[in-house]
Amino acid sequence: MAEFDVTRADTRRTRGLVAFASLTLSAGLLAALMVGGEPSSDAASSDAISLAVAAPIDAGSEPALPIDVSEQDTLPVEPISVLLDPSELVHVNDAAFTQCANCPTRIQIERTVPRGGTLAGVLDDADIDRVQAARAIAALGTVFDLRYLRAGERINLYFETETPADGSESFTRFDGLSFRPDVERSITVARTFDDSFRARETIAEFDREMVRASGSITASLYVDALNAGATDRVVVELAGVLAYAIDFQRSIQPGDDFDILFERFVDEEGNTARTGDILYAMYDGRGDAKEFFRYETEDGIVGYYSTEGASAQRLLMLTPVNGARLSSSFSTARRHPILGYTRRHNGTDFAAPRGTPVMAAGNGIVERADRFGSFGNYVRIRHANGYETAYAHLNGFARGIRAGSRVTQGQVIAYVGTTGRSTGPHLHYEVHHNGTPRNPMTLDLPTGRQLSEDEIPLFEAERDRIIAIREAARPAAEDETPVVADAGNGAQ
């Protein structure tokens, strides 16, 4: 407190000296005019104030004045030298901020929205006054719908701690918050001069480019695609496009070729901010190349189609779990690992870590989702054309999965477990057609939506356009290493 007062006193004295010099000079000029008329240029020049660099002013004492203030009305006009060191003047001004004992201190902390939590709860846990929190939330609602605030979202909170000049107890106030709901947007809520809050949304602009990631399998499709310049998100979408045509547990072999054409959005420095749609995907396994082109019908339905216009989508996915190992095939006679005798195995087993997501193989309605004898936790789904799928030994069910609920293809319905009669974590997967068990690995399933004769010419035009883009696209890995998605900034 004392330090700040001394600094201000030095500043006041410095200003006083300058003011005094100005008054003295004015008085001298006025006297000269009254006595001798117009001053000569030499006289005016001699009346100028000169600033000499000398020893610094002692902050604890008054600087010596070269003129007696009480005689300023009768003094002759003389040049005035103010003994100030310019470096000390800079120090005096800077000290008002850097050595200020009661200047506000800004604090930033980070909080994460918990699962099932709310922004109000986050602010309350940070001990923010509820009235202030409510005002900030109300301001935020003008630019962002809080229903879309995700669990795991990182929220930056800003505070200001200030010690009053009168020496009373310091206090801390909430100054605002900021977060990034996705890679393109930044949301800020800040306190205004009148103690209300104002929200602002900043949207980044990125350049769109078409790039191509291609190569051969040496380790895995995931690793090799990343090395070719694809992102984590692109590889996941690629798996979705090819899921109906390729058995990822058995079909991927070293030497197989892949090719992906996709959108990429980069900032002004050329760094990948996010990726967009896959326009083209090709996988060539042992001479059996499968090509698919993205096409949106006139009624807004997006799908992937072969060169001839056949839909890539099938009624059911070949495998409803990613990253699993085929541990037991469909068989009419198999020695049961627990019972010890030979019996029919009506499904396919996929070994995977406990908790691995299990997806619905196709669109349908859940017939049951409960405990079912030796199957443990069990889900059965009814699909179109007389097909049913079953999923057994589950660790648990996804939220909202119950008898009568409707599911879509690829939707997570449960998680791999080892409940019921099971020797380890795995998914037991069955497909029935009109009540008869079928081998899901060899099923010739009906395709998805077929293009009409009127739509084929439009598709072919789009296909040819994509081929031209593919040939002109530069390699995705040309300038940078692969980018993996960050869940806090949104998916890449």
* Of the listed ranges 219-223, 393-397, 444-448, the one predicted with least confidence: 444-448
Cα separation, 131 vs 137, whole angstroms: 10
pLDDT at 336: 46
Confidence of residue 246 (pLDDT cuts 50, 70, 90): confident
Per the model's pLDDT, the better-predicted residue between 289 and 397 turns out to be: 397
- The confidence band for 131, taking pLDDT boundaries of 50, 70 and 90, is very high
The H-or-E segment that residue 174 falls in is: strand 171-182
Architecture of the CATH domain 207-313+474-489: Roll (3.10)
User: Residue 422, Cα to own-chain centre: how many angstroms?
Assistant: 40
Q: Structural domain boundaries of the chain?
A: 2-98, 105-203, 207-313+474-489, 325-438
For 383, the token pair is: 């699909």
- Give the pLDDT band of residue 102 (cuts 50, 70, 90): low
Pairwise CA distance, residues 430 & 348, whole Å: 6
* CB-based contacts of 428, cutoff 8 Å, min separation 6: 347, 348, 349, 375, 390, 391, 392, 393
State whether the Cα torsion 38-41-47-51 is positive or negative.
positive
Contact 266, 210 (CB under 8 A): no
Instruction: Using pLDDT thresholds of 50, 70 and 90, give the confidence band for residue 3.
Output: very low
pLDDT for residue 75: 46
Statement: the pTM of the whole predicted model exceeds 0.75: no
The answer on pLDDT for 155 being more than 90 is: yes
Assess whether pLDDT exceeds 70 at residue 274: yes
Higher pLDDT, 335 or 361: 361
The torsion angles phi and psi of 222, rounded to 5 degrees, stand at -65, -55
pLDDT value of residue 406: 92
Rounded to whole angstroms, the Cα distance separating 142 from 186 reads: 14
pLDDT > 50? residue 57: no
Per-residue pLDDT band at 235 (split at 50, 70, 90): confident
- Supply the DSSP string of 85-104, one letter for each residue: -HHHHHHHHHHHHHT-SSS-
The yes-or-no verdict on residue 407 having pLDDT over 80 is yes
Which one has a higher pLDDT value, 128 or 321? 128
Res. 115 pLDDT band, cuts 50 70 90? confident
The reported pLDDT for the residue numbered 205 is: 77
**Taking residues 147-173, what's their average pLDDT?**
83
| Burial (0-12, 13-18, 19+ Cβ within 10 Å), 308 | exposed
Q: Do domains 207-313+474-489 and 325-438 have the same CATH topology?
A: no
Q: State how far the Cα of 199 lies from the Cα of 190, in Å rounded to an integer.
A: 7
In the predicted model, what is the mean pLDDT of the chain?
A: 76
Architecture of domain 105-203: Roll (3.10)
| DSSP letter string, 105-146 | EEEEEEEEPPTT--HHHHHHHTT--HHHHHHHHHHHTTT--G
| pLDDT greater than 70 at residue 239 | yes
pLDDT of 338 reads 46
Phi-psi region of 195 (alpha: psi -120 to 50; beta: other; left: phi over 0): left
CA 263 distance to own-chain centroid? 18
Superfamily covering domain 325-438: Glucose Permease (Domain IIA) (2.70.70.10)
Q: Is the pLDDT score of 173 beyond 80? A: yes
Which is it for strands 377-382 and 364-371: parallel, antiparallel or unpaired? antiparallel
The angle at the Cα of 271, spanning 268 to 276, to the nearest 5 degrees, equals: 100
Between 286 and 373, name the one with better pLDDT. 373
Task: Decide if 419 contacts 377 (C-beta within 8 A).
Answer: yes
